[in-house]
A = this chain, B = another copy of it.
Amino acid sequence: MPADATRRRLRTAALELFVEQGVVETTTRDLAKKAGIAEGTIYRHFESKDDLVRDLFCDHYVRFGADLNRIQAETAGGIDAKLRAMIDFMCRLYDEEPTLYRFLLLVQHAALPNIRTAPTSPAVIFRGLISRAIEQGEIPEQNPALAASMVLGAIIQPALSLIYGSLTGTMSNFAPAIASACSALLRAPRQHLRAA
């Protein structure tokens, strides 16, 4: 009956349904049923279904970005230590809150209307980390945006493979291997730069 509880239940139900069956495939009827409220009540809390999606995404995305940023800042040491901590965090999030994680993956690829990449997207954070490491001579000269993409891909794709079943286990168990792989990836020889 308290308005906040209703809102929270709706958001939780929405997150689960969106992940389970997709955003477009989830109807307001589904949402109301799962949240245990009336369809009309949705519109007391959100202007539209799109608004609900946006709210959900922005909120979680911002929090996720902030967490990732904080971990990067608070972790002592060089890029390897920071990378390791960030990857540990992402893997733990996947294992502990798979629904939330999958939602972040899902809406990243969905043509989300009117949502511009937040300034604290993982890609931006990784790029900053890599740029600084290059400046400080920790890793060789390279395209930071490309490197950030590859690192992100090496983290995200195993998660997707787990979801789709082509990989089995827990992300946390893979964290050391992924971190090690990313560190190596960033130090790959750049002979081709000479050629280009």
Contacts and interface: CB of A to CB of B under 8 A. Distances in A.
Interface stretch (A6-14, A48-56, A155-163): A155-163
A interface, over-half SS: helix
A15 to B, nearest CB: 16
Contacts of A147: 181
Interface centre among A124, A167, A188, A192 (most CB of B within 10 A): A188
Question: How many chain copies does the complex carry?
Answer: 4
Contact of A180 (B24, B110, B190): B190
A37 interface: no
A111 B149 contact: no
21 contacts: A22-B24, A22-B111, A106-B109, A117-B164, A123-B166, A143-B174, A145-B166, A146-B158, A146-B177, A147-B181, A149-B161, A149-B166, A149-B167, A150-B181, A153-B156, A177-B192, A180-B192, A181-B185, A183-B188, A184-B185, A185-B185
